[in-house]
Homo-oligomer: A and B are copies of this chain.
């Protein structure tokens, strides 16, 4: 790692694109790490992956809480933020060249609903007909797992990522495998829409006790945090069992649900799916991922583990 270096902070779309094109003209690979800020070690590992993706490379970190991936009932208003802290952390890596932190990336239009949506960018049908209304949908992959309980989530993610790709025009983009479904959706979107971008999936970073790093962990009480360890623990147990030959998905799934429920968590889903298509499997005889979403108090956490019994 190089010494601390202040990244350039860019707020404007046109300035961001011009910056990026200059770097490309200099022969640099442009690598982007899209984030919603409130950065932790998990994000910084994505930054490292971006910095290691090419040489010479220009690394851009975007910090933007994307309103369109939150439903009106969700936690947009309390999503944590600490821009000064984020900048310090990024500077400390010594490898970030620019931070793109725009004020708002959506045309809100002049209709009545624009004001009524509480910041979220919802679907249109607004009267004036001049608000944002274009959505990128990865129609099959967006449906299961987190998409079942968060119906607008991946539509919002695919759309904002498309916008960021078109503004920054990167050669490489890094996504965390913690958001497994998101990562697979972006990979599919890039293939289907022919974006000239290499997607890197970066491994999950965990606290010393195994909890997957998340900006939402800050909302956990100490007791909830302790209980939340049951997620990773049950996933590791499941992998151990599978590698020993217990490949029956219903059995594995029930065990995890039971463990989580016994700790007092409300399970959103536990699913065992093929890694690329996210299609359910009954036996672990192809590369799978077990994905979990569960509530601990008012905090919804997700985690996952990849299992390949052939390796």
Give the B-binding residues of A (Cβ under 8 A): 13, 17, 105-107, 123-125, 128-130, 132-141, 158-159, 162-163, 166-167, 169, 188-189, 191-196, 274, 276-279
Question: Chain B residues with Cβ under 8 A from A125's Cβ?
Answer: 140
Q: How far is the CA of A204 from the CA of B50 in the complex (A)?
A: 48
Q: Flag if A133 contacts B279 (CB, 8 Å).
A: no
Can you give 12 contacting A-B residue pairs, CB < 8 Å?
A13-B194, A17-B196, A106-B192, A124-B139, A125-B140, A128-B277, A132-B192, A136-B193, A159-B193, A163-B193, A163-B194, A169-B196
* Whole-angstrom CA separation of A138 from B123 in the bound complex: 11
**Which residue in B134, B140, B196 is a CB contact (below 8 Å) of A129?**
B140
Residue of B nearest to A196 (CB): B17
Please state if A130 and B192 are interface contacts (CB–CB under 8 Å).
no
A244 to B277, CA, bound (A): 61
Most buried by B among A137, A194, A276: A194
CA–CA, A139 to B136, complex, Å?
Answer: 10
Please tell me if the beta carbons of A134 and B130 are within 8 angstroms of each other in the complex: no
Q: Which residues of B contact A137 (CB under 8 A)?
A: 134-137
A188's contact among B134, B158, B278, by CB below 8 Å, is which? B134
Complex Cα distance A167/B191, Å? 11
CB-contact partner of A166 in B17, B106, B130, B193, under 8 A:
B193
Residues of chain B with a CB closer than 8 A to A193's CB: 134, 136, 159, 162-163, 166
Query: Within the assembled complex, what's the spacing in Å between the Cα atoms of A123 and B139?
Result: 8
User: Which B residues touch A134, using CB under 8 A?
Assistant: 136-139, 158, 188-189, 192-193
Knowing A138-B134, A139-B134, say if A129 contacts B192 (CB, 8 Å): no
A133, B194: Cβ atoms closer than 8 Å? no
CA distance A26 to B310 in the complex (A): 50
Contacting A130 at CB < 8 Å: which of B159, B189, B277? B277
CB distance from A148 to the nearest CB of B (A): 15
When distances are taken between beta carbons in the complex, the residues of chain B under 8 Å from A278 are 129
Given the known A-B contacts A107-B192, A194-B13, A194-B167, are A139 and B129 also in contact in the complex, defined by CB atoms under 8 Å? no
CA–CA, A12 to B43, complex, Å?
37
Interchain CA distance A169-B196 in the complex, whole Å: 9
Report the Cα distance A77→B113, complex, angstroms.
43
Q: In chain B, what residue has the closest Cβ to A167? A: B194
Q: What's the least CB distance linking A132 to chain B, in Å?
A: 5
Known contacts A129-B277, A196-B169; A140 and B124 CB within 8 A of each other: yes
Q: How far apart sit A172 and B303, CA to CA, in the bound complex (Å)? A: 43
Cβ contacts under 8 Å, A130 to chain B: 276-277
User: Which residues on the B side are within 8 Å of A194 (C-beta)?
Assistant: 13, 105, 163, 166-167
Q: Given A107-B191, A162-B193, A194-B13 in contact, is the A279-B140 Cβ separation under 8 Å?
A: no
Task: List chain B residues, Cβ under 8 A from A162.
Answer: 193
Give Cα A136 to B136, complex, Å: 5
Distance of A194 Cα from B189 Cα, bound (Å):
16
